[in-house]
Amino acid sequence: MAPGVGQRHRDEEIFTQNFYKYSWIVLGGVCLLFALPHRVWKYVEGGKTHQLCQGLNAENEEARNTNVTKTVQILASKEVGTSSYLTKYFMMSWWSALNPLVALVIIDSSMSGKFKFLGYHFFLDAANDGKINDFYLLFPLGAKCSVSAYGPSGQLQVFDSLCDLPINHLNRAVFPTLW
């Protein structure tokens, strides 16, 4: 029997999760968050790095020296040699370095603050000797669901059923990996 499924005791707290239906949006947003600095840098940089490195691995010595001279001339030009190019580079580097922290905050806020300790609970589960862990409560594979339907008299009837949560098979692999 899965945690949370079966008879509920009066003193037992009802544990609800609301991020399941939005987990794919959060993960897609984090992916876009990581891809955005790369795309912005490619646009801002304009192919200058490719231009600098082009031909530096030439076979003969004369062609290589010519290409090194061209590279030095490009670096000495105002277009690449100015501090604005370096400023843009360092800004993109800082943006890329802050991305994991922003992703951590986004994922943690979508999971009601439970993502911070997810790895701890994941590794604690191996030494837990079959006891129910917070990791299994966070990503249950089955849950008790209350289904509301209108009965023959037109009144709302509530039925308890067992719901399978197939997205948690994926979430159990993805979120500990991200942690």
The yes-or-no verdict on residue 4 having pLDDT over 60 is: no
Percent of the chain at pLDDT exceeding 90: 1
Q: Could you identify the residue written with the tokens 């986004």?
A: 106
Rg of the chain's alpha carbons, rounded to an integer?
Answer: 27
For 67-115, the pLDDT digits (tens) are: 788 777 777 776 655 667 778 888 888 988 998 888 888 888 877 777 7
**Where are the chain's structural domains?**
21-110, 117-167
**Identity of the amino acid at 77:** S
Distances (CA, A) of 24 to 117, 144, 156, 166, 167: 20, 22, 32, 13, 9
| pLDDT of the residue at 82 | 63
What is the value of pTM for the model shown? 0.60
